[in-house]
Amino acid sequence: MNIRTVATAPFNDQKPGTSGLRKKVSVFQSPNYLENFVQAIFDTIAAPAGSTLVVGGDGRYYNREAIQIILRIAAANGFGKVLVGQGGILSTPAASCVIRKYRTFGGIILSASHNPGGPDGDFGIKYNTANGGPAPEKITDAIYARSKALDSYRIADAPGVALDQQGSFSLGGMAVEVIDPVADYAGLMESLFDFEAIRALLKGGFRMCFDAMHAVTGPYAKEIIEKRLGAPGGTVINGVPLPDFGQGHPDPNLTYAHELVEIMYGASAAAFGSAQAAPLSPLPERSRRQPDFGAASDGDGDRNMILGRHFFVNPSDSLAVIAANAALAPGYAKGLAGVARSMPTSGAADRVAAKLGIPCYETPTGWKFFGNLMDAGKVTLCGEESFGTGSDHVREKDGLWAVLFWLNILAKRGQSVEDIVHRHWAEYGRNFYSRHDYEGLPSDAANGLMAHLKSQFASLPGQRFGSYQVKLCDDFSYTDPIDASVSTGQGLRVIFEDGSRIVFRLSGTGTEGATLRIYLEAFEPDAAKQRRDAQEALAGLINIAHELSELKQRTGREQPTVIT
């Protein structure tokens, strides 16, 4: 094997965010850009010679080319074996599953998650450690430090690997095994959930629609939902992964998953229903017009959206409902060790944990913060308001897992999505909750807005805004209870005397400008008042958020890009 050492110069913009390094495709295509970052990863992790690595991605534009480069650099850096998903495909939770099952040294996942794809879209890369989870900050910081000092990288001169053919190949002396990207993950799901009960539900006339959004979960959903669970063909829509996600935005929310929303809410539901093979006669008239259950997942398969008929399940509520009903799934029948949620996620799960007598941890945003808690056996379930829910079965959030958990709950309880959520609110109270995203803001304006907010913190406590009185303000920080590491600057919080709150964060998942996220939460214990529209219930807090942040004056925006 001929190994070349290529002279290079460092790039100054390779600092990983909460989910790895994300840039425009054109940036990654720049000479040495991807090569430098991969070499910085390998220099930092110092894997012993002969180690095994997992590589795969969400199939977006440049995925295949990047994998071939990574394989050649891995061979030059002494790896003994690389497991690659067929076609270059591995959903993020499936990659975590493979890393854990085969006890590899770690893995490289190629994804920009829910960001758009295509030649003009986004690309991303991140390193996951041997536990299957995203590298913690101490590793990503070290990778960044190494990237700024890099003056060369090593790469093998070798032909590319045939990614579309399963089997074992050799690349310059390194073994490359192209694996079925779905099989290991599907087997894990079958071990966690009552597939027999879900099959019976689907055979009994219950209808669902899963929107894969032309992203990575299409093959997974077709294998599990249609093949193993027996849902009619066509239950999975947009199921073929495409490099540009069919020119769509693979973010499973009410704005971007518009086709699914039309099916669950609009006139197109009738056409969807008529195409199903399940018998119509036993179903009430309303069920013939639309599916009972709708779900979607994102670009790399780690996010989910849950819908009933004309009913949206807020991701914060979804985590709480899953926690409250976890014992209905065989893999969780023994009980939960604990629950964890990101700080911006609503406190709905806290109330379930309190009733179950288990701890609930509040962490910064970023799935890597859950890893230590899961590895230490402190939590079983975890979730983020950004449509991410998961458990200790892997070390990533898992969109299809959440969908299957809901199917398990629906099969066992025999109630609709709406009934389950309404009954949950009646028992635990409702945390009215919403997130307003302002995407593509000029970075200077967004940073100025945050600085203005923080400058008011000393004077805000005690002030009254309508019926709300400020109790405290802070910039959230977190001390990890396992390794005592400290994370600061995790979000600006304004908390009111009645427990309501407003949280302001700048997102680290975009590639252009800045995304401001404003999170709003108010608790309502009275069942008679719980079915109001969330935006109506939170109107007072929305106005306060705009007033405190001077949003319109500083950004020119009056309406959010996305409301969830």
Give the list of residues 6+ apart from residue 553 with CB closer than 8 angstroms, or none: none
Q: Which two tokens stand for residue 531?
A: 């079915």
**What are the φ/ψ torsions at residue 503 (nearest 5 degrees)?**
-125, 135
Place of tokens 């694996």: 179
Amino acid in the structure at residue 305 = M
List the catalytic residues.
Answer: 113
Determine the Cα–Cα distance for residues 480 and 490; give it in Å rounded to an integer: 13
Determine the Cα–Cα distance for residues 325 and 338; give it in Å rounded to an integer: 14
Estimate to the nearest angstrom the gap between the alpha carbon of 400 and the chain centroid.
11
Determine the Cα–Cα distance for residues 340 and 349; give it in Å rounded to an integer: 8
Give the list of residues 6+ apart from residue 72 with CB closer than 8 angstroms, or none: 155, 156, 157, 158, 171, 172
Closest Cα to residue 56, out of 96, 84, 87?
84
**What are the φ/ψ torsions at residue 392 (nearest 5 degrees)?**
-80, 10
Strands 167-171 and 208-211, sheet pairing: unpaired
Handedness of CA 457, 15, 21, 33 (dihedral sign): positive
Query: Using an 8 Å Cβ cutoff, are 349 and 380 in contact?
Result: no
Query: Using an 8 Å Cβ cutoff, are 215 and 58 in contact?
Result: yes
DSSP-assigned letters across all residues of 88-156: EE--HHHHHHHHHHTT-SEEEEE--TTS--STTSEEEEEEE-TTSSBPPHHHHHHHHHHHTT--EEEEE
Place of tokens 């969908």: 403
Query: Using an 8 Å Cβ cutoff, are 61 and 90 in contact?
Result: no
182-219 burial code (b ≥16 CB/10 A, e <16): bebbbebbbebbbbebbeebbeebbbbbbbbbbbbbbb
Classify residue 333 as exposed, middle or buried by CB count within 10 Å of its CB (0-12, 13-18, 19+): exposed
